[in-house]
Amino acid sequence: MMKKHIILLTALMSISMTAYGQHLFFIGEESYLSTEAYSLSANSESEKDLNIAFAKDSNYAFVAVRLEISYGNQFHGKLIIYLDDGNVVSLEDQVVRDYIDWIALAVYSLPEEEIRKLKSGNINTVRYEMRGSLAGSGNFSSSNRSGINFPEIVSEFFE
């Protein structure tokens, strides 16, 4: 009898830990199951830190980015992710972008081939372009100075 209680307790703890670890990324009229957002340090004094999360729905994988800005600009063009192992993940397919409450948001499709790269090489730097008003437009980058272990995060989320 005691063995059944221990097994049941272990199962319930696993379920609650899994449910607690799930996040949602909201953009426009869509929401995606996601990892938590991780902060990458801005490489320019004029920009704020870039937040990045990995998201998915029943059919597709995504990279979601978020940036607090004061100019009304939006993400534009490619999202380029440079990995520590020398590989580059170049995401051209921007699914949706949004701007609300001084925050620019964008979601990019993440093909399976690029997921494999992210599982084996850690993110070093992310390059992105902002467009809109003249102030704050341009190409920027943010780096993983905190040593976040992205291969582990990507592997667990997309298993």
- According to the per-residue pLDDT averaged within each range, which of 32-36, 74-78, 86-90 is highest? 86-90
For residue 41, the enclosing domain spans 23-157
What digits encode the pLDDT tens for the residues 103-123?
A: 999 999 999 999 999 999 999
Would you say residue 3 lies in a domain? no
Would you say residue 54 lies in a domain? yes
CATH number for 121? 2.60.40
Can you give the pLDDT at residue 134? 63
Please state, for a pLDDT cut of 70, what percent of the chain lies above it: 86
Would you say residue 16 lies in a domain? no
Would you say residue 97 lies in a domain? yes
- 87 confidence band (pLDDT: 50, 70, 90): very high
What digits encode the pLDDT tens for the residues 10-61?
A: 333 333 333 335 798 777 787 889 999 999 999 998 789 999 999 999 899 9
Number of domains in the chain: 1
Looking at residues 88-108, what average pLDDT do you find?
91
Nearest-CA neighbor of 65 among 102, 101, 30, 94?
94
Would you say residue 31 lies in a domain? yes
Would you say residue 1 lies in a domain? no
Would you say residue 13 lies in a domain? no
Surface-to-core class of residue 53, CB atoms within 10 Å of its CB (0-12 exposed, 13-18 middle, 19+ buried): buried
Q: Lowest mean pLDDT: which of 25-39, 83-97, 143-157?
A: 25-39
Can you give the pLDDT at residue 72? 80
Would you say residue 68 lies in a domain? yes
